[in-house]
Amino acid sequence: MSTAIAPRHAAASAEPHAYFAGLGTLLRLGLRRERWGLAIWIGAISLTVAASFPTLAALYPDAASRQAIAGGIAATPAFSVITGPVESTTLGGLTAWRYGVLGGVAVALMALLVVIRRTRAEEESGRAELIASGAVGRIAPLAAALALAGAASCVIGILAALGGLAAGEPVSGSVLLGASLAGPGLVLAAVAGIAAQLVESSRAATGLAGGALAVMFALRAVGDTISGAGFVSWLSPLGWGQKLGAYGADRWPVLVLFAAATACGTWAAVRLCLRRDVGLGWWPARPGPAAGRRLGSPLALAWRQQRGTLAGWSIGFLVLGAMSGGMATDTEKLLAGNAKIIEIMRDLGGAGALTDVLLATMGTIGGLLAAAYGIAAMDRVSSEEATGRAEPVLATAVSRQRYIGAHLTFALAGSAWLLLLAGGVAGLTYAASGGGRAAFGDGLASLAVQYPAAAVLIAVSVALIGAAPRWTALAWAALGAALLLGQLGPLLQLPRAVMDVSPYTHIPQLPAAEVTWMPLATLAALAAALIAIGVAGFRRRDLRLR
């Protein structure tokens, strides 16, 4: 009998619980490091969704108006691309339509960024090695990152559901709305966990996971817009969020898809993690060129550092332009075919005016995004300084002005390029789909006119880098304030003086409005002055050293 007992040394040498040793400490560390970032993500997303209930209630007080808007959306493919179809015309249903997909994308983005930052970025910095040398299980850092991102996603879902309940909407719909937000977060956390195992650089891992998210968005968009391709939506976790049918069909079984995808993804990430070396990826890094003959100036270095980012943003602006032009066309088609909507729109100011307002709105979004690109480009100066990479460059024959000027060139020229690109594409799309003779000019102008406002926000970041280097994050706060003022200002009927703080308030709403040169010139002068302050400050101050 005793001979039948098999030895179990192999199992004993890898006690399963040891994989997770130190998990609690790592969770606390992650929470400590991410607390502000997570608080902002959670607050911004859940507040936006929760606030949508009262906002929509004010905009569409009765069932008839909600039916009308739903009918309009259904007839406008460009809307379907972004937000998907309307599943239910109740107040909750409209909220689920408006934020189901976009909110899911935002939560997924948060989750993937947190996971990469807590895993691959830590390995890249060498901190993970210090951690791994302690009594820490092999997969504990990954598990802590996934748990943190998953918990944050769930908190957003819960808060959004509470927002629905507070607005008096049904319980099951509210829970499913929350699930449609949290679900993509859980899945993308697992996807980012896999990406972090595959490649050695955190940038590449972010790109990989972000690419997966983009594919999911595209699959869902195809399924929602192309008739007969509806099944494609079922391939995307973002599509599952819609298929839950919050406040409408309330399809609870769809939750299983989220659970299964999260479990499979997590399992795959863990398997990969257990079989690889700390600091290395599954795909080994390739050797690069042995010499850098083309790298001979700060501008060439900045180009090398910025080109990938600029290429990514260019794709985004291409899509933005196509959507803007496409929607403008669709609005006109929609108005031609739907008598009821025409009636409503005539009340608002006529068919042409609606298209113009739509172009102007897309223009403002483009202007804000162009500023975001520019501020991110300027952030390079701060990060190069903080990592000590600016020091050897400034110890050569490169002046401070030339150094900051190289990145400033990319921030200013890059944002101009992005706006012109999106504007050009918007104009072409609008004109090609029958927008009339002025269509190209209208599309281009709606985006290009935003440049002075974007330049002011970029100049704010330049001024901060030069004059107040500890406070460079305030440039992002300024962008956030401009965004909030633009979105909430008219809704809350804020006084003119408050609205005027945002540079975007001063931009003429082309093509709906006339071109007024004075505010544009004033904004340009303000941007120039802020840049002068920043460059002079950067020249005069001590370099911030490690």
Partner 1 sequence: MTTESNPVIGMTDVVKTFGAVRALDGLDLSVRPGEVHGFLGPNGAGKSTAIRVLLGLLRADSGTATVLGGDPWHDAVALHRRLAYVPGDVSLWPNLTGGEAIDLIGALRGGLDAARRNTLLERFELDPRKKGRTYSKGNRQKVAIIAALASDVELLILDEPTTGLDPLMEAVFQDCIRSERERGRTVLLSSHILSEVEALCDRVSIIRAGAVVETGTLTELRHLTRTSIEADLERPVTDLAGTPGVHDVVVIGSRVRFSVDSDQLSTAIGALAGRGLRSLTSSPPTLEELFLRHYAPAGGAIAAGARR
Binders of partner 1 in range 255-294 (CB under 8 A):
285, 287-293
Shorter beta-carbon distance to partner 1: residue 301 or 334:
301
Closer by beta carbon to partner 1, 172 or else 297: 297
Token pair belonging to 101:
């997909």
Q: Does 1 bind partner 1 (CB under 8 A)?
A: no
- For residue 273, give the nearest of 71, 56, 120, 468 by alpha carbon: 120
**Using CA atoms, how far apart are residues 144 and 368, in angstroms rounded to an integer?**
34
Among 14, 59, 256, 387, binds partner 1 (CB under 8 A): 387
Nearer to partner 1, 437 or 546 (CB): 546
- When the beta carbons of 365 and 393 are compared against partner 1, the nearer one is 393
Does an H or E element contain 144, and which?
Answer: helix 140-166
Q: What is 93-155 written as a DSSP string? A: HHHHHHHHHHHHHHHHHHHHHHHHHHTHHHHHHTHHHHHHTSS--TTHHHHHHHHHHHHHHHH
Which position among 16, 228, 253, 296 is part of the footprint of partner 1 (CB under 8 A)? 296
Task: Residue 84: name the closest of 97, 99, 103, 72 by CA.
Answer: 97
Residues of this chain, 521-540, that bind partner 1 according to CB under 8 A: 540
Q: How far is the CB of 268 from partner 1 (least distance, A)?
A: 25
- The site map against partner 1 for 121-150 (x = CB under 8 A) is ---x--------------------------
Closer to partner 1 by CB, 128 or 186: give it. Answer: 128
Give, as one character, the DSSP assignment of residue 275: T
Quick one: which of 31, 132, 200, 207 contacts partner 1 (CB under 8 A)? 200
* Residue whose structure tokens are 């150094």: 403
Cα distances from 486 to residues 97, 371, 384, in angstroms, run 22, 14, 33
In degrees and rounded to multiples of 5, residue 309 shows phi and psi of -60, -45
Q: Tell the smallest beta-carbon distance from residue 132 to partner 1 (Å).
A: 17
How far does the chain reach from its first CA to its final CA, in angstroms? 68
25 burial via Cβ count (<10 Å: 0-12, 13-18, 19+): middle
The site map against partner 1 for 338-377 (x = CB under 8 A) is ----------------------------------------
Contact residue for partner 1 among 344, 393, 494, 499 (CB under 8 A): 393
Sequence-distant (6+) residues with CB within 8 A of 130 are none
Closest to partner 1 by CB, 257 vs 393, is: 393
Options 33, 251, 333, 389; binder of partner 1; rule CB under 8 A: 389
Helix, coil or strand: residue 434? coil
CA dihedral of 358, 361, 365, 366, whole degrees rounded to 10: 70
Write the CB contacts of 502 (distance below 8 Å, at least 6 apart in sequence). Answer: 453, 481, 482, 485, 486, 489
530/546 Cα distance (integer angstroms)? 27
Nearer to partner 1, 305 or 361 (CB): 305
Is 397 among the residues that bind partner 1 (CB under 8 A)? yes
Question: Strands, DSSP E only, in 53-159?
Answer: none
- Beta carbons of 531 and 539 less than 8 angstroms apart: no
- Site membership for partner 1, residue 395 (CB under 8 A): yes
Residues 71-130 that bind partner 1 (CB under 8 A): 124
Structure tokens at 522: 């004033």
- 3-state helix vs strand vs coil in the chain, percent to 5: 80, 0, 20
By CB under 8 A, is residue 59 in contact with partner 1?
no
Nearest-approach distance from CB 392 to partner 1, in angstroms: 6
Size of the site for partner 1 (CB under 8 A): 38
Q: Which helix (H) or strand (E) holds 506?
A: none
Member of 201, 314, 338, 409 binding partner 1 (CB under 8 A)? 201
- Report the residue number, 394 or 416, with the smaller CB distance to partner 1: 394
Stretch that binds partner 1, among 73-81, 391-399, 494-502, 529-537 (CB under 8 A): 391-399
> Which amino acid, 40?
I
Q: Which one of residues 7, 16, 392, 495 is an interface residue with partner 1 (CB under 8 A)?
A: 392
* Cβ atoms of 223 and 230 closer than 8 Å: yes
As a residue count, the chain comes to 546
Question: Looking at beta carbons only, is 8 or 546 nearer to partner 1?
Answer: 546
298 binds partner 1 (CB under 8 A): yes
Rounded to an integer, what distance in angstroms lies between the CA atom of residue 147 and that of residue 153? 10
Residue number, 124 or 250, with CB nearest to partner 1? 124
Q: Given the complex with partner 1, which of 18 and 543 has the nearer CB atom?
A: 543
- Whose Cβ is closer to partner 1: residue 267's or residue 471's? 471
Q: Which of 39, 264, 274, 399 binds partner 1 (CB under 8 A)?
A: 399
User: By CB under 8 A, which span of 138-146, 196-204, 217-225, 430-438 interacts with partner 1?
Assistant: 196-204
301-330: which residues touch partner 1 (CB under 8 A)?
A: 301, 304-305
* Residue with Cβ nearer partner 1 (401 or 516): 401
Calculate helix-pair angle for 439-448, 351-386, nearest 10 degrees.
Answer: 40
Among positions 394, 420, 467, 481, the unique one binding partner 1 when judged by CB under 8 A = 394
Beta-carbon neighbour count of residue 346 at 10 Å?
Answer: 13
> Least distance (Å) from partner 1 to the CB of residue 291?
5
Q: How many CB atoms sit inside 10 A of residue 531's CB?
A: 24
4 vs 397 by CB, closer to partner 1? 397
- CB 381 → partner 1: shortest distance, Å? 14
- The residues that touch partner 1, with contacts defined as CB under 8 A, are 124, 200-201, 203, 285, 287-293, 295-298, 300-301, 304-305, 387-389, 391-400, 540, 542-543, 545-546
